[in-house]
């Protein structure tokens, strides 16, 4: 009897355990459903086979009827699909798990934008906002106008308000194209687990979808403000399962809030034995945000690129422009990448001819240069017509040079010098929009001869950034002598002059169009151009017949100023983010460049390293330029500190991050044994040997790249939102202010509309102060009163400081134009 009882208990226990296991297994595996395609957009639909479906752990394919069944996991919160190319979801690509759901059914709609061989998508990053100040509409309109396959937000939607705002106003329904999200560190917020609110608005934190011949994988930030419930092991195991169903001929692109590596091997793993070498899966790109910068990088010879984007509604931390990024991808996974600068609505400016600014060569060929831009659509055709009181030319075409500029030349032999003429320009955009403008002008009867003189070798003329052009001439007017377009953009790299040439650094942040160029100062004739490996964005310099610069990847170049041939190249081995966007200087045969641990002094003649600081102390990139102050080199690490280094050895003498100096963007001026430095809202007068300073608070935001203009009586400061302001040097009492127009693009960190930003340094020449502004104008003002003497519309942001030699003034704009003006008193 006992034996039978034991036998009964054993059988009962076995049956009970089996029932429990069946219950648990049934609870976790009851994930069945269908993937349908809607026929003719109605209720009529049929099943679609070979669609990947996941519970966040396993991945299966639908059968020919569109049916699927998943093995399940108790931690599953969503069932989601990999949307195939040529389709979009009717509703969401995910469904929350619910005990009452019998069948998880997905409906797909045909979507031609993702089914083409060549597709286009938009990246936005780090919006960090719960407001729309006009930044969303241009993105929505561009996506619709240019048939984007999807929009991807690569994270830092930002905190509870931001997550809920985006979940309401930036969705597939509101934007008109599919919208996908990555989770960033600031999207892990308070809740039962860090990603809970993200899931409420956007669904699972990792998933995949396809467009064209590319398989896109969205992966999550692994840590942040609050702890997530997912682990790297979860992501790894799901990704491994996801990849096993991907056609080997497809390209792979991965989205994340952060970059996996700056090396050339993209390994995603959890141990030495369990890892995925993404290089072996045809990885083409890793696209991310987090750093608030524009940064394009090639990873060795692998063919893999990584791309980081600045926010679309505000300036980046390193003063990258407010933009969203457009990617065009072909069937081989090759990219064409270009930014779209936000907030601009069909702006067209005739730079020349305009008034007395008319350039005609010895063969009666007149230069026509037009800047035209609209955020929401690409310009596809720009035409011009020249009219007098008695006749008009036929409409002619301008040729596109950059994303802003269109130029051509035309014969004006049939018109008289001094005759009042009109140029009409009209532009047509890809979406069918039109815009036009007209300007009166005269062909000049006489011209002042260009007379370049002294070298201008660094930002504001020298390594101390303190040149004041003292002249007996009482200039009151600038007249255009020549203008050329470089074929690429120009950021904060100011022109420099030496040996009869003006030197320019032009860049394309997302391609190989990066050059140092030399133009004849008198005529604008291109002498040479040298292609750098990555973009030179900020100030470069000249000494002893050599032009020296450093690109975003910390590669330094020494280029023969006469021939354009490379004399030396030195890689300073940047082993961390972000990109180098600061300015360099030369002084007494030494080229000072770099930042953080690769801050270095190089021999100008051969590029050999004299010293290298070698200590990484954190921080972000910033747009300030190094300054030589007697035996101290002034450097900084954005978000950390301002530093003084011994000029001879590189040894750190002092550091300070107080009074806004850790967030400083501006370049210091050294005059009268004193450093003049603008921080957040202070002007500091500092001893460069000790770092001890006196501070003067001003009611303006000063986080721009500009150098303070310091004269015997005045200090003139550029600002983020109020143009340029002059103060009495002794008392710091405000004397005058020139408020510029609203910025065309926003570059100062976290700045947005409305901001009257001036990133360029004011430069004094005789009785004038000259500066370019982000509103696209060149300003000429009286040094004593700030009275406006001349305001010249260029039509593209002027972020760089002017260069002056003799009676010539050179200025560049963001659209890639180099303009040479003669200063006169006529």
pLDDT surpassing 70 at residue 27: no
| Domain edge (last residue) among 82, 110, 138 | 110
pLDDT surpassing 80 at residue 207: yes
Q: In this predicted model, what pLDDT tens digit does every residue of 743-780 receive, in sequence order? A: 999 999 999 999 999 999 999 999 999 999 999 999 99
686: tokens are 């500092």
Chain mean pLDDT for the chain: 95
In a shared domain, residues 120 and 18:
no
In a shared domain, residues 505 and 651:
yes
In a shared domain, residues 164 and 184:
yes
Confidence tier at 21 by pLDDT (50, 70, 90): very low
What confidence score (pLDDT) does residue 24 get? 43
Determine the average pLDDT of the residues in 793-810.
98
Alpha carbons 658 and 14: distance in angstroms, whole number: 71
CA dist list (Å): 265 to 298, 299, 304, 770: 12, 8, 9, 49
| Domain edge (last residue) among 80, 110, 140 | 110
Alpha carbons 398 and 392: distance in angstroms, whole number: 17
Q: Count Cβ atoms below 10 Å from residue 776 Cβ, excluding itself.
A: 27
In a shared domain, residues 373 and 476:
no
In a shared domain, residues 564 and 614:
yes
In a shared domain, residues 627 and 762:
yes
Q: Is residue 795 part of a domain?
A: yes
- pTM value is 0.94
What confidence score (pLDDT) does residue 161 get? 97
In contact, 682 and 696? CB cutoff 8 Å? yes
Q: Is residue 74 part of a domain?
A: yes
Alpha carbons 613 and 333: distance in angstroms, whole number: 40
What is the domain-level CATH number for residue 430?
2.60.40.10
In a shared domain, residues 329 and 359:
no
Alpha carbons 382 and 305: distance in angstroms, whole number: 33
Residues forming beta bridges with residue 428, ordered by sequence position: 381, 434
In a shared domain, residues 78 and 139:
no
Q: Count Cβ atoms below 10 Å from residue 460 Cβ, excluding itself.
A: 28
pLDDT surpassing 60 at residue 42: yes
Q: In this predicted model, what pLDDT tens digit does every residue of 775-798 receive, in sequence order? A: 999 999 999 999 999 999 999 999
Alpha carbons 634 and 667: distance in angstroms, whole number: 9
What confidence score (pLDDT) does residue 620 get? 83
Q: Count Cβ atoms below 10 Å from residue 268 Cβ, excluding itself.
A: 20
CA dist list (Å): 330 to 82, 119, 127, 211, 248: 20, 7, 28, 10, 16
What confidence score (pLDDT) does residue 617 get? 82
In contact, 596 and 636? CB cutoff 8 Å? no
Alpha carbons 585 and 595: distance in angstroms, whole number: 13
Instruction: Look at strands 104-110 and 31-38 and give their pairing.
Output: parallel
Burial 681-703 (b: 16+ CB within 10 A, else e): bbbbbbbbeebebebeebebbbb
What confidence score (pLDDT) does residue 40 get? 77
What confidence score (pLDDT) does residue 484 get? 98
Q: In this predicted model, what pLDDT tens digit does every residue of 168-206 receive, in sequence order? A: 999 999 999 999 999 999 999 999 999 999 999 999 999
Burial class (CB in 10 A: 0-12, 13-18, 19+), 73: middle
Determine the average pLDDT of the residues in 510-534.
97
In contact, 155 and 182? CB cutoff 8 Å? yes
Percent of the chain with pLDDT over 90: 90
What confidence score (pLDDT) does residue 16 get? 47
Contacts of 565 (CB under 8 A, 6+ apart): 530, 559
Cα dihedral 529, 535, 540, 546, rounded to 10, equals -40
Confidence tier at 25 by pLDDT (50, 70, 90): very low
What ranges make up the beta strands (E) of 289-378?
Answer: 295-298, 305-308, 323-329, 335-341, 347-352, 365-373
Q: Is residue 454 part of a domain?
A: no
In contact, 799 and 772? CB cutoff 8 Å? yes
In a shared domain, residues 166 and 239:
yes
Alpha carbons 325 and 536: distance in angstroms, whole number: 20
Q: Where are the alpha helices (DSSP H) in 516-646?
A: none
Three-state DSSP at 68 gives strand
359: tokens are 């350039």
Q: In this predicted model, what pLDDT tens digit does every residue of 391-445 receive, in sequence order? A: 999 999 999 999 999 999 999 988 999 999 999 999 999 999 999 999 999 998 8
What is the domain-level CATH number for residue 696?
2.130.10.10
| Domain edge (last residue) among 341, 371, 397 | 341
Three-state DSSP at 145 gives helix
Query: Any idea which residue has 């966007």 for tokens?
Result: 581
What confidence score (pLDDT) does residue 4 get? 53
Phi, psi of 480, rounded to the nearest 5 degrees: -70, 130
Please state the domain count of the chain.
4
Determine the average pLDDT of the residues in 547-553.
98
765: tokens are 């020449």
- Nearest 5°: the CA angle 239, 104, 106 is 80
Alpha carbons 443 and 205: distance in angstroms, whole number: 63
In a shared domain, residues 377 and 331:
no
What confidence score (pLDDT) does residue 106 get? 98
What is the domain-level CATH number for residue 266?
3.60.21.10
Q: In this predicted model, what pLDDT tens digit does every residue of 313-348 receive, in sequence order? A: 999 999 999 999 999 999 999 999 999 999 999 999
pLDDT surpassing 80 at residue 527: yes
What confidence score (pLDDT) does residue 17 get? 46
In a shared domain, residues 104 and 120:
no
Q: Is residue 451 part of a domain?
A: no
What is the domain-level CATH number for residue 5?
2.60.40.1120
Burial 462-488 (b: 16+ CB within 10 A, else e): bbbbbbbbeeeeebbbbbbbbbbbbbb
Nearest Cα to Cα of residue 751 among 159, 156, 180, 316? 316
Q: Is residue 449 part of a domain?
A: no
CA dist list (Å): 400 to 205, 382, 411: 42, 8, 19
Q: In this predicted model, what pLDDT tens digit does every residue of 103-152 receive, in sequence order? A: 999 999 999 999 999 999 999 999 999 999 999 999 999 999 999 999 99
Alpha carbons 504 and 490: distance in angstroms, whole number: 8
What confidence score (pLDDT) does residue 30 get? 82
Residues forming beta bridges with residue 68, ordered by sequence position: 33
In a shared domain, residues 492 and 436:
no
Nearest Cα to Cα of residue 387 among 361, 412, 407? 412
CA dist list (Å): 307 to 119, 136, 247, 529, 777: 18, 22, 24, 26, 31
Residues forming beta bridges with residue 716, ordered by sequence position: 709, 726
What confidence score (pLDDT) does residue 35 get? 98
Alpha carbons 286 and 454: distance in angstroms, whole number: 47
Longest dimension (CA), the chain: 126
Q: Is residue 91 part of a domain?
A: yes
Residues forming beta bridges with residue 529, ordered by sequence position: 517
Q: Of all helices (H) and strands (E), which one includes residue 3?
A: helix 2-29
Nearest Cα to Cα of residue 805 among 499, 454, 449, 498? 454
Q: Is residue 448 part of a domain?
A: no
Q: Is residue 158 part of a domain?
A: yes
pLDDT surpassing 90 at residue 570: yes
Domain of 366, in residue numbers? 347-442
């Amino acid at each position: 009897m006992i034996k039978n009882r034991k036998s009964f208990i054993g059988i009962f226990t076995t049956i009970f355990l089996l029932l429990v296991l069946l219950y648990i297994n049934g609870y976790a595996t009851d994930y069945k459903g269908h993937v349908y395609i809607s026929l003719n957009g109605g209720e009529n639909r049929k099943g679609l086979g070979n669609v990947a479906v996941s519970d966040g752990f396993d991945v299966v394919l639908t059968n020919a009827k569109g049916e699927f069944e998943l093995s399940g996991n108790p931690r599953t919160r969503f069932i989601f699909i990999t949307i195939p190319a040529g389709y979009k979801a009717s509703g969401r690509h995910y469904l929350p798990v619910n005990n009452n759901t019998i069948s998880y059914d997905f409906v797909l709609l045909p979507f031609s934008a993702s089914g083409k061989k060549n597709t286009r998508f938009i990246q936005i990053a780090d919006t960090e906002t719960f407001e729309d100040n006009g930044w969303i509409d241009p993105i929505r309109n561009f996506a619709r106008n240019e048939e984007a396959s999807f929009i991807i937000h690569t994270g830092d939607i930002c905190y509870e308000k931001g997550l809920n705002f985006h979940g309401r106003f930036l969705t597939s329904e509101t934007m008109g194209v599919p919208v996908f999200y990555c989770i960033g560190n600031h999207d892990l917020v308070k809740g039962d687990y860090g990603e809970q609110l993200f899931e409420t608005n956007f669904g699972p934190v990792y998933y995949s979808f396809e467009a064209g011949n590319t398989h896109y994988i969205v992966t999550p930030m692994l840590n942040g403000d609050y702890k997530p419930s997912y682990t790297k092991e979860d992501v790894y195991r799901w990704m491994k399962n996801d990849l096993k169903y991907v056609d080997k001929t497809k390209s792979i692109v991965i989205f994340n809030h952060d970059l996996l590596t700056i090396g050339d091997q993209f390994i995603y793993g959890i141990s030495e034995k369990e890892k995925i070498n993404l290089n072996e899966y045809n990885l083409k790109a890793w696209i991310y945000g987090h750093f608030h910068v524009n940064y394009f990088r090639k990873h060795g010879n692998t063919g893999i690129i990584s791309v980081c984007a600045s926010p679309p509604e505000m300036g980046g931390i390193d003063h990258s422009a407010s933009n969203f990024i457009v990617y065009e991808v072909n069937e081989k996974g090759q990219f064409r990448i270009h930014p779209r600068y936000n907030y601009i609505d069909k702006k067209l400016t005739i730079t020349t001819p305009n008034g007395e600014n008319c350039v005609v060569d010895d063969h009666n060929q007149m230069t026509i240069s037009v800047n035209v831009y609209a955020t929401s659509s690409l310009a596809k055709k720009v035409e011009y017509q020249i009219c007098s009181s008695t006749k008009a030319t036929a409409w002619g075409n301008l040729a596109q040079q950059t994303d802003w500029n269109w130029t051509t030349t035309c014969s004006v032999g049939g018109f008289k010098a001094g005759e009042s003429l009109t140029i009409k320009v009209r532009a047509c955009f890809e979406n069918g929009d039109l815009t036009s403008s007209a300007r009166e002008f005269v062909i000049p009867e006489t011209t002042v001869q260009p007379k370049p003189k002294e070298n201008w070798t660094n930002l504001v003329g020298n390594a101390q950034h303190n040149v004041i052009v003292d002249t007996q001439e009482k200039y009151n007017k600038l007249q255009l002598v020549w203008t050329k377009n470089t074929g690429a953009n120009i950021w904060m790299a100011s022109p420099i002059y030496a040996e009869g040439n003006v030197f320019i650094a032009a860049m394309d942040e997302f391609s190989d169009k990066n050059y140092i160029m030399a133009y004849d100062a008198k005529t604008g004739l291109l002498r040479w151009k040298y292609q750098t490996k990555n973009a030179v964005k900020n100030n470069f310099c000249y000494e002893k017949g050599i032009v020296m610069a450093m690109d975003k990847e910390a590669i330094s170049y020494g280029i023969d100023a006469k021939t354009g041939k490379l004399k030396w190249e030195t890689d300073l081995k940047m082993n961390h983010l972000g990109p180098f966007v600061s300015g360099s200087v030369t002084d007494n045969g030494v080229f000072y460049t770099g930042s953080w641990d690769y801050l270095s002094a190089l021999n100008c003649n051969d590029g050999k390293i004299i010293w290298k600081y070698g200590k990484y102390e954190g921080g972000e990139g910033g747009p300030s330029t190094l300054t030589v102050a007697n035996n101290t080199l002034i450097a900084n690490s954005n978000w950390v500190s301002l530093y003084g280094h011994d000029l001879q050895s590189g040894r750190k003498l002092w550091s300070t991050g107080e009074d806004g100096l850790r967030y400083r963007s501006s370049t210091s001026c050294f005059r009268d044994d004193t450093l003049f430095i603008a921080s957040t809202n202070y002007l500091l007068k500092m001893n460069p040997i000790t770092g001890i300073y006196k501070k003067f608070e001003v009611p303006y935001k000063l986080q721009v790249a500009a150098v303070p203009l310091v004269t015997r009586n005045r200090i003139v400061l550029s600002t983020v939102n109020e143009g340029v302001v002059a103060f009495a040097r002794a008392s710091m009492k405000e004397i005058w202010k020139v408020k510029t127009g609203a910025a065309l693009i926003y570059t100062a960190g976290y700045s947005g509309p409305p901001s009257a930003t001036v990133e360029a340094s004011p430069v004094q020449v005789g009785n004038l102060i000259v500066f370019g502004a982000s509103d696209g104008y060149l300003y000429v003002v009286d040094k004593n009163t700030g009275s406006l003497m001349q305001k010249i519309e260029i039509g593209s942001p002027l972020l760089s400081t002017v260069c002056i030699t003799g009676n010539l003034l050179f200025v560049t704009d963001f659209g890639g134009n180099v303009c040479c003006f003669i200063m006169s008193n006529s």
